[in-house]
Amino acid sequence: MKPPDFLSAPLGDHRILARPGPQRGRPLWVLDPLAAAIWDAARAGLTAEEVAACLAVRFALPLEQAQADVARVLITWSGVTEAAPTWTLHLADRRIGLTVVDLELASRLEPLISHLQTKLDGPTHATLRLAGTATDWQLFVDEALAVAGSLQDAAIAHTVAELVEAACATDQRLLVLHAAGVSRAGQGMLLIGPGGAGKTTLAAALNASGWELLSDDVIPVTLEGGLLGLGMSLCLKAGSWPVLAPWLPDLDRALLIERAGQPVRFPPPPGPIHRGPVSTAAFVFPRYRPGREAALEPLDPVRVLRGLIEAESVIPDLTQAKLLALTRWIASAPGFTLTYPDLDRALEMIERLPLGEPLV
């Protein structure tokens, strides 16, 4: 039985353990007298059975209790020395490394990203490290501190946001859209709008119906005008849960956190995902209006551009060449406003759109 190779120092009848190196984001371990005695005996090279026998004599314990105490400490050491979970994730055209030091946080985050894990070789474009504990955490991006806090839900929300930010690589794109996107047969359809427009709900239903999901909220556009998919888990607000229940039967088991003061769930995509790039076949501006008549109204390119700006899309470092590329891209596909009273009607109308062909 060998204890982990930690720094160790006595403090009264206790013992303090620490990992060597910089301490920010790393815990200290305080061993009580019994655990300290186990540590000292193990460092002396005794076996687990010999340590238990010594404890029984020193602390006047029944042998069975001493053996149980030794087993408990061994389990603790196993958790202490277990390597921090690290994943390599494939989002859009980038590989991002994510390490989560706290095992509790790692267990909550893992269902959100398991479908993004990749073993493909290639460079890692960014690294994220969620250090510290579930109640005192720090999130580093490329080893620079991005944000810190004390709430588990905030740790998850910020980690998801930074993964999206790293995948978008805004300064390398034509623009980054505040939009959802789906694709089929290499043709991408954008669902554009501010928060509350219904784009995420509609994208989730389309994905469950067989469309490939690009993203439910943010779409990077390459300099050539290709749509890239992040493939992240959906982020669904409480108002969409009953609406999406027929399409996502396991929604009530998805991770639930509080984000920006309201509850959200993060179910994995119910259907296939696509990382792209794919061409743009249509700009669609959805409007969920219960009780209203369904309608599909064409938009001219200027109104499409206005809608992109109003949706708070990000156009970085605009140059003459990028402005020309942007206008060409907008003119390459038709735009529509889609007013729909329910998801069934919306999906029915979208199926009529001849993606890949000029729409009139």
Residues 155, 176, single domain; the answer is no
> Which of 64, 81, 98 is a domain's end point?
81
Q: Which residues of 227-256 are buried (b: 16+ CB within 10 A; e: fewer)?
A: bbbbbbbbbbbeebbebbeebbeebeebbe
pLDDT value at residue 2: 46
> pLDDT tens digits, residue range 193-241?
877 777 899 999 999 999 999 999 999 999 999 999 999 999 999 989 9
Torsion angle (degrees, nearest 10) of CA 305, 311, 312, 317: -20
Please report, for residues 66, 89, 99, 166, 309, the alpha-carbon distance to residue 127 in angstroms, rounded to integers and kept in the order given.
Answer: 44, 10, 8, 9, 30
Residues 179, 317, single domain; the answer is yes
pLDDT at 105 over 70: yes
CATH number at 244 reads 3.40.50
pLDDT value at residue 56: 83
Residues 115, 229, single domain; the answer is no
- When pLDDT is averaged across residues 166-189 and rounded to a whole number, the result is 93
> Which of 81, 111, 142 is a domain's end point?
81
pLDDT value at residue 74: 60
pLDDT value at residue 27: 63
pTM of the predicted model as reported, rounded to 2 decimal places: 0.75
Average pLDDT, the chain: 86
Write the DSSP symbol of residue 251. G
Residues 320, 199, single domain; the answer is yes
pLDDT value at residue 3: 47
> Does residue 87 sit in helix, strand or coil?
strand
How sure is the predictor about 94, in pLDDT bands with cuts at 50, 70 and 90? very high
> pLDDT tens digits, residue range 141-171?
998 999 999 999 999 999 999 999 999 999 8
Share of the chain above pLDDT 70, in %: 90
What's at 326, amino acid-wise? Answer: L
Within a domain: 355? no
Tokens, residue 36 = 């300290």
Residues 263, 341, single domain; the answer is yes
Q: Is 122 left (phi over 0), alpha (psi -120 to 50) or beta?
A: left
pLDDT value at residue 214: 96
pLDDT value at residue 260: 84
Cα–Cα distance for residue pair 59/27, rounded to 1 Å? 28
pLDDT at 62 over 50: yes
Half-sphere exposure in the Cβ direction for 148 (13 Å, CA): 10
Residues 115, 60, single domain; the answer is no
- When pLDDT is averaged across residues 329-348 and rounded to a whole number, the result is 92
Please report, for residues 167, 231, 232, 343, 356, the alpha-carbon distance to residue 204 in angstroms, rounded to integers and kept in the order given.
Answer: 20, 12, 12, 10, 22
pLDDT value at residue 20: 66
Q: Scanning the structure block, which residue is given the tokens 């805004």?
A: 170
Closest CA relative to residue 283, chosen from 312, 303, 255, 259: 303
Residues 57, 137, single domain; the answer is no
Within a domain: 335? yes
pLDDT value at residue 225: 93
Q: Domain limits at 14?
A: 7-81
pLDDT value at residue 359: 35
One-character DSSP codes across 154-199: HHHHHHHHHHHHHHH-GGGSSEEEEEEEEEETTEEEEEE-STTSSH
Residues 229, 281, single domain; the answer is yes
pLDDT value at residue 65: 77
Share of the chain above pLDDT 90, in %: 52
Residues 46, 125, single domain; the answer is no
pLDDT value at residue 81: 46
pLDDT at 323 over 70: yes
> Which of 37, 58, 81 is a domain's end point?
81
Least-confidence region, from 21-30, 232-241, 253-262? 21-30
Residues 143, 207, single domain; the answer is no
Beta bridge partners of 215: 181
> pLDDT tens digits, residue range 6-22?
778 888 888 887 766 65
Please report, for residues 18, 133, 243, the alpha-carbon distance to residue 295 in angstroms, rounded to integers and kept in the order given.
Answer: 64, 51, 20
